[in-house]
Structure 1
Amino acid sequence: MSQVHLRASLALIGDDLRAVRDVCVTVDDDGVVESVEGWGSCPWDSAGGTWAALLPQPANAHVHSADGRFPEFGVDLGLHELVAPPDGLKYRLLSTLSPTETALDIWRTYRAAYELGVGLLVDFREGGGLGCLAAQRARSMVPDMDVLVLGTPGPSFPGWCQGLGLSSPLDYSEGVLRALTSQLRPSFTHVAEDPENRREGDLEVALRAGFTAIVHGTHLSRDDLQAIAERGVALVMCPRSNMWHGLRPPPVADAISLGVTLGLGSDNAAWNLPDPWGEAEEAMLIARSQGLRGAPAAVLEALMVGGYRAAGLEPRTVEEGRKLHAVLVDAYSTGILSAADTASAIIRRARAGLALRADGSRLAYLSKAGIY
């Protein structure tokens, strides 16, 4: 195996995602970034070119993967009818699948995420340890994408689970919750997705129990968000899911202005492709509608850095000395190279130009044809 060189007119470098023009990234035999230099150092047969932007692989920090077996089911139903355990439509549908079918359907979601350039997918798995086992079987077929499998109490739990993912902290006593969160890290739970759960104090229970991250937060106030920020608890927002289920938009602007660590997730694969780019665009539009004009840079950070940090992992950012995990995007045709605001352009346009992903020295051309 020999060195790999990638040439791009634009690259986002480091955890601060600083935009650098005209770069040549050299990757050594171990897949580690050896240098980031001017593109004059690139040989003629480098991957990429003047058309390209080199971007970190984004994180999708909240997915329910097996739902993808049932796309667009129950479009006339509300949130609780669709997903409330144990009798929501999705649970009844999932119960009809064999373990092999479940693993294959999870793999289909993972493959779709891989083709969208995703570097990390945080999967909430139903069905206890056996549900996590199905995800681990699927995960083995996408080795270049990190998958964090979070489980919920059930058969063989916590076997094969890499952390905790609960539908609601209100489903358990606080003693049980504290035992679970002390044993399983990271620990995520849905919080304040609807007004009923918020009125019952789900955030306070989650904070007392020591969860490392909460998901949705649709009905959190500024005071709630301040409390989250002060405790260092991450918030994963799923704006497309919230809108689809008839909920109000999440408080993106307040969360950004208060310095909350933000990630983005696509939620149920039945109703959303596992596409964090779409979540980022929706979050940016919501922030603008909520009066925050400086949102693009913060939303880009949530997409490419915050989701990893919510999961307790190092971001897959491009930097010398780190293994390369990146995507090459056609930034010429999509207008990114000539855009007045680079962060906004990447959020809104990169998905349409996804061309190549690089994982170490392995290069894979991306084709969204055939996804789902």
Structure 2
Amino acid sequence: MIVEGTVLRGPEFTPIEGRVVCEDGRIDAVEETEAESDRIVLPAFVNAHTHVGDSIAKEAGRGLSLEELVAPPDGLKHRLLRRADREESVAAIRRTLRFMRSGGTTAFMDFREGGEEGVSALYEAAADLPIDAFALGRDELAALEAGDGYGASGAADAEFSRERAAAREAGKPFGIHAGENRTDDIEPALELQPDFLVHMVNAGPDHLDRVEREGIPVVVCPRANLTTGVGLPPIEELASRTRVALGTDNVMLNGPSMFREMEFAAKLTDLPADRVLAMATRAGAELAGLNCGVVEEGREARLLVLDGDSDNLAGVRDPIRAVVRRAGVADVLDVIHPAQNS
């Protein structure tokens, strides 16, 4: 498979005119050469934090607080999840995954409610789709064993040292929500030495110092934080101290579009476009243990191809900035997954 156009090459997303040669599911070569194409070729997105089980409850709970919406065990989403049967849940999740794929996402990390059964439902929904589901189970240790890691709700909800130890023993990632709408759950979360934190909206200077000192990555979900009224994460401060990835969080609150998340993060901060694009691609890939997120030889062939001559993108002067702040699902020509060329 050969894809030509303006290629955002390497970790700096340097725009070159050229082509990407893919073979056996990997990028075989990135060649700078004349290309008669208006396409823009970049790494596919990795959504670093989702709750796709919420697909049965899109736009539910208007006017409710964060606790009333999502706090376990009796937040609105948990009540709705308990009422839904497996067939309904799987069908709703599958539709969300198709939408994510259409918007350039080829992998995502989901904090999976429902224990082992919830992990199984996610894998069933993703079966045969060209998108990779990383299930970070919760609620029981069997979910960790069945899934790809453990995704803890928060240190204020329960004590997770047993789950942390089990994840470490299994060699699987352990992530935890922290500082979303409070500060008292941040230190207990840090004491668990997690592989990554999610949110950190209310992180203080001491928390940020420790995150930097211990090299703990953070996933931010600014659109969801705005929607629930908890504030906005200190994205620039975090990015100056540690690796930051982007996630779209609960499907009940926002559509899982990495285009929208990037645009919001970019316009919310003064970060350059290449830093924001890295949060949506390379940073999430590193958390998931994937060898992608960068267009360079030897990487997995997970690519997003945009129509640079669409009515939306025609005439752009800065392709990286255009991808981050302007592009959308309507500009997508192709989403390439390793399975397509292996």
**Structures share fold, TM-score greater than 0.5:** yes
Alpha-carbon distance change, 243 to 39 in structure 1, aligned in 2, over 3 angstroms: same
Structure 2, unpaired ranges of 5+: none
Alignment of 1:127 with 2:122, yes or no, is: no
Aligned to 1:119, what secondary structure does the other structure show?
Answer: strand
**Residue number in structure 1 paired with 2:259:** 277
Deviation (angstroms), 1:39: 4.1
Bigger shift: residues 155-164 or 298-307: 155-164
Instruction: State how far apart, in whole Å, the 1-side matches of 2:102 and 2:68 are.
Output: 31
Aligned-partner Cα distance in 2 for 1:265–1:298:
15
User: Is residue 2:243 matched to residue 1:261?
Assistant: yes
For residues 106 and 187 of structure 2, the distance between their equivalents in structure 1, rounded to whole angstroms, comes to 32
**Counterparts of 2:222 and 2:261 in 1: how far apart (Å)?**
6
Is residue 150 of structure 2 the alignment partner of residue 164 of structure 1? yes
Matches of 1:361 and 1:67, distance apart in 2:
28
Structure 1 residue 135: Cα displacement:
0.8
Aligned partners of 1:267, 1:116: CA distance in 2, in Å? 16
Q: Does 1:27 align with 2:5?
A: no
> What letter is aligned with 1:207?
L
* Secondary structure at the counterpart of residue 223 of structure 1: helix
**In 2, Cα distance between the equivalents of 1:117 and 1:109?**
13
Cα offset, 1:340, TM superposition: 4.2
Q: Give the direction of change, closer, same or farther, for the CA distance of 1:337–1:224 in structure 2 (3 Å limit).
A: farther
Amino acid at match of 2:30: V
Give the whole-Å Cα distance in 1 for the aligned partners of 2:75 and 2:100.
Answer: 25
**Equivalent position of 1:220 in the other structure:** 203
Q: Distance in 1 between matches of 2:215 and 2:335?
A: 32
> Residue by residue, what CA displacement relative to the aligned partner does 1:224-278 show, whole Å, maximum 9, x if unpaired?
223212212110000010011112111112112x232011111111121111221
Give me the TM-score of the superposition, normalised by structure 2: 0.92
What is the aligned partner in structure 2 of residue 194 from structure 1? 181
Matching of residue 5 in structure 1 with residue 11 in structure 2? no
How many Å separate the matches in 1 of 2:9 and 2:60? Answer: 41
Please say if 1:110 is aligned against 2:97: yes
2:225 maps to what in 1?
242
Secondary structure, aligned partner of 1:36 = strand
Report the 3-state secondary structure (helix = DSSP H, G, I; strand = E; otherwise coil) of the residue aligned with 2:38.
strand
Name which of 31, 40, 43 aligns with 1:37: 31
When normalised by structure 1's length, the TM-score is 0.85
Quick one: which amino acid aligns to residue 11 of structure 2? D
Structure 2 distance, partners of 1:237, 1:168, is: 15
TM-fit CA distance, 1:337: 6.7
Q: Summarize deviations over 1:11-63 as a string: whole Å, max 9, x none.
A: 1122332222x2122223x23323222444x7xxxxxx522100100111111
* Preserved CA contact (<8 Å) 1:119 1:316: no
Q: Distance in 2 between matches of 1:259 and 1:339?
A: 32
Retained in 2: the 8 A contact 1:136–1:160? no
- Any idea what the Cα deviations from partners look like across 1:184-207, whole Å, max 9, x if unmatched? 521111100002xx1x2x222122
C-alpha displacement of 1:174: 5.6
Please report the RMSD computed on the Cα atoms of aligned residues, expressed in angstroms: 2.1
2:287 is aligned to 310
Structure 2 Cα separation of the partners of residues 157 and 253 of structure 1: 34
CA contact (8 A) 2:278 2:293 kept: no
The residue matched to 1:350 in structure 2 has which SS? coil
- Give the residue type in structure 1 aligned to 2:44: Q
Percent identity (aligned): 30
For the residue of structure 2 that corresponds to 1:329, the secondary structure is: strand
